[in-house]
């Protein structure tokens, strides 16, 4: 199976699609694009070539199709693999609910890249980790659903990694999220990649 993933480089941030695909032992061939003054032209050309409708990345070429919008892409891969999702409708709902919180967080994190406001640092970020931590507290962990990893664990792990890189991670995280980080960083297929890119 050939998988080509294209993304732009944002320092050496950990890329959740890549983590997910590596964890699932699916071969990957990432292409990274520079996010600098060349990006507008690159974005226009990727749009013309049909890789992305919005001009944004990531985009995943998988089989004979192209997938964009990263959370629906992870959810699609989970369904295809018959793994990385809840088993009951309720579990799937919980996973999707946390994914939705992540999507809301992400929009605000992207805005914070232009300069994190006091409101972002003092209200948005603490509330995000408090609420996400409450969801993770519902089981003994280390993952959202307990000992079964799902696609959203990759997203939440990446949100923590992103905040660390932008210096907006709160000094202390809920214990359940510390456990998640430790568990993600110990997973056999991805621990080396994480260690190299941390």
Ligand X SMILES: N[C@@H](CCC(=O)N[C@@H](CS)C(=O)NCC(=O)O)C(=O)O
Residues that bind ligand X (CB under 6 A): 8, 43, 56-58, 68-71, 110
Up-side HSE of residue 25: CA atoms within 13 Å toward CB? Answer: 3
Neighbours of 195 (CB within 10 A): 9
At its nearest, how many Å lie between ligand X and the CB of residue 47? Answer: 11
Q: Residue 42 or 181: which CB sits closer to ligand X?
A: 42
At its nearest, how many Å lie between ligand X and the CB of residue 148? Answer: 24
Closest CA to 149 of 23, 58, 28, 62: 23
Q: Residue 6 or 22: which CB sits closer to ligand X?
A: 6
Contacts for 1 with CB less than 8 Å, ≥ 6 apart: 26, 27, 63
**Sheet with 3-9, side-by-side order of all strands:** 29-34, 3-9, 59-62, 65-68
Given a contact cutoff of 8 angstroms between Cβ atoms, the answer to whether 152 and 70 are in contact is no
At its nearest, how many Å lie between ligand X and the CB of residue 179? Answer: 26
At its nearest, how many Å lie between ligand X and the CB of residue 69? Answer: 4
At its nearest, how many Å lie between ligand X and the CB of residue 70? Answer: 4
Q: Residue 169 or 183: which CB sits closer to ligand X?
A: 169
Helices (H) and strands (E) in the chain — how many of each?
Answer: 9, 4
Token pair, residue 67, equals: 């997938």
- Phi first, then psi: what are they for 71, rounded to 5°? -70, -50
Q: Residue 97 or 110: which CB sits closer to ligand X?
A: 110
Q: Residue 141 or 163: which CB sits closer to ligand X?
A: 163
Distance CA 144, CA 98 (A): 9
Residue nearest to ligand X (CB): 56
At its nearest, how many Å lie between ligand X and the CB of residue 172? Answer: 27
Q: Residue 110 or 186: which CB sits closer to ligand X?
A: 110
């Amino acid at each position: 199976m050939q998988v080509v993933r294209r993304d732009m480089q944002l320092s050496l941030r950990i890329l959740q699609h890549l983590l997910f695909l590596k964890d699932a032992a699916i071969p990957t061939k990432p292409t990274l694009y520079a996010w600098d003054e060349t990006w507008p032209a690159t974005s226009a050309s990727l749009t013309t070539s049909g890789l992305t409708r919005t001009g944004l990345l990531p985009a995943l070429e998988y089989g004979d199709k192209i997938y964009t919008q990263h959370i629906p892409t992870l959810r699609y891969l989970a369904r295809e693999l018959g793994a990385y999702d809840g088993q009951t409708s309720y579990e799937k709902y919980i996973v999707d609910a946390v994914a939705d919180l992540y999507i809301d967080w992400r929009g605000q994190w992207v805005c914070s890249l232009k300069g994190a406001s006091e409101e972002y640092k003092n209200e948005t970020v603490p509330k995000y980790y408090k609420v996400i931590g409450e969801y993770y507290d519902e089981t003994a962990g280390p993952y959202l659903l307990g000992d079964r990893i799902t696609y959203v664990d990759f997203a939440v792990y990446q949100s923590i990694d992103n905040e660390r890189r932008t210096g907006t991670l709160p000094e202390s995280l809920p214990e359940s999220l510390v456990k998640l980080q430790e568990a993600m960083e110990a997973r056999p297929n991805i621990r080396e990649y994480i260690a190299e890119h941390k």
